[in-house]
């Protein structure tokens, strides 16, 4: 026999409320709700107090900078290299002398000769002359030959051109310099840049840089009418062989 429910008739009791619903029902009452809010406020205050104790004291700007600098690469400062004698990049051995020969370049770039960090010839000394300079000598061939011949045995001779060293260079002067070991003196042309290290009365080690030349070329000149300056440098043994 089938039965049916009429509208308005009761369906009977529903399922019992869950524990969480029962707790919310209890807290919804006035006094207990106030107690719950007070306890929640105390927990929030204590949590903030503990967080403040754990964070170190630091200005906000420092904290912001620390956050900003996260991930940045550290900056490495390269030490300033120590100055070496005659401005060499590396020091000479203790049993050698440092030297550097720099030819003139153009009309305003003067020749320079440095030996053991002492400037023997240069613009600051006012002893640079047009032509071939051998320390502090005139560019004329006559005085230059006498200077070379008067150099005592076991002497070093440093030579560098300024402006032009070929015009007044006669054959006797060329021969005198060639006898000292120059291979380029007879190839010198008008306004060639040239430097040469000579040893009188002894032999220099074969690995020492002794001579260099740069000819004037209107297409490749660095300066108007003059080639670029050139230089040689090295370390000479203190005890000549």
pLDDT in tens, 89-148: 899 999 998 999 999 988 888 999 998 898 988 999 998 888 888 863 333 567 778 888
Instruction: Please state, in angstroms and rounded to a whole number, the distance separating the CA atoms of residues 177 and 161.
Output: 13
Q: For residue 82, what are the CA distances in angstroms to 77, 87, 91, 174?
A: 15, 10, 9, 40
Residue 8 is assigned to a structural domain of this protein: no
Residue 80 placed within a domain: no
The verdict on 144 and 232 lying in the same domain is: yes
Position with higher pLDDT, 182 vs 215: 182
25: helix, strand or coil: helix
Question: Is residue 57 located within the same domain as residue 157?
Answer: no
- Mean pLDDT, residues 5-17: 52
The domain tally of the chain equals 2
Give the range among 1-15, 165-179, 200-214 with minimum mean pLDDT. 1-15
Domain with 175, as residue range(s), is 85-237
Asked if the structure places residue 12 within a domain, the reply is no
| Shared domain check, 43 and 154 | no
> Element (H or E) spanning 121, and its range?
strand 118-121
Same-domain pairing of 187 and 108 = yes
Task: State the pLDDT at residue 30.
Answer: 59
Residue 14 pLDDT: 55
* Same-domain pairing of 119 and 198: yes
Q: pLDDT tens across 212-230, in order?
A: 999 888 777 778 788 888 8
> What pLDDT score was predicted for residue 51?
56
In a domain, 13, yes or no: no
pLDDT at 16: 61
Dihedral sign, Cα of residue 111, residue 114, residue 118, residue 120: negative
| pLDDT for 186 | 95
Residue 227 falls inside a structural domain: yes
In a domain, 50, yes or no: yes
Residues 178, 61 share a domain: no
Q: Is residue 156 part of a domain?
A: yes
Q: Based on the fold, state whether residues 106 and 214 are members of the same structural domain.
A: yes
| 3-state secondary structure at position 160 | strand
**Does residue 17 surpass a pLDDT of 90?**
no
Alpha helices, H only, 130-237 = 141-150, 171-179
- pLDDT grade for 174, boundaries at 50, 70 and 90: very high
| Residue-wise pLDDT tens digits, 39-93 | 777 777 666 666 556 555 545 455 455 555 555 666 777 777 788 999 998 999 9
Whether residues 134 and 185 share a domain: the answer is yes
- Which residue reads 């550097």 in tokens? 100
Same domain assignment for residues 97 and 187:
yes
């Amino acid at each position: 026999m089938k039965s049916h429910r009429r509208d308005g008739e009761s369906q009977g009791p529903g399922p019992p409320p869950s524990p969480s619903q029962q707790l919310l029902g209890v807290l919804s009452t006035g006094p207990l709700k106030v107690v719950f809010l007070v306890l929640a406020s105390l927990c929030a205050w204590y949590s903030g107090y503990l967080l403040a104790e754990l964070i170190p004291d630091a200005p906000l700007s420092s904290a912001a900078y620390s956050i900003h600098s996260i991930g940045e690469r550290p900056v490495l400062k390269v030490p300033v290299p120590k100055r070496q004698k005659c401005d060499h990049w590396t020091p000479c051995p203790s049993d050698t002398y440092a030297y550097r020969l720099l030819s003139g370049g153009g009309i305003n770039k003067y020749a320079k000769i440095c030996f053991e960090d002492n400037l023997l010839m240069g613009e600051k000394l006012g002893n640079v002359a047009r032509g071939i300079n051998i320390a502090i000598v005139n560019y004329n061939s006559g005085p230059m030959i006498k200077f070379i011949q008067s150099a005592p045995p076991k002497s070093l001779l440093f030579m560098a051109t300024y402006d032009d060293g070929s015009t007044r260079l006669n054959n006797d002067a060329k021969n005198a310099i060639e006898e000292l070991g120059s291979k380029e003196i007879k190839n010198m042309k008008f306004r060639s840049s040239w430097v040469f290290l000579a040893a009188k009365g002894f032999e220099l080690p074969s690995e020492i840089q002794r001579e260099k030349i740069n000819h004037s070329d209107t297409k490749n000149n660095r300066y108007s009418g003059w080639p670029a300056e050139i230089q040689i440098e090295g370390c000479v043994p203190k005890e000549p062989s």
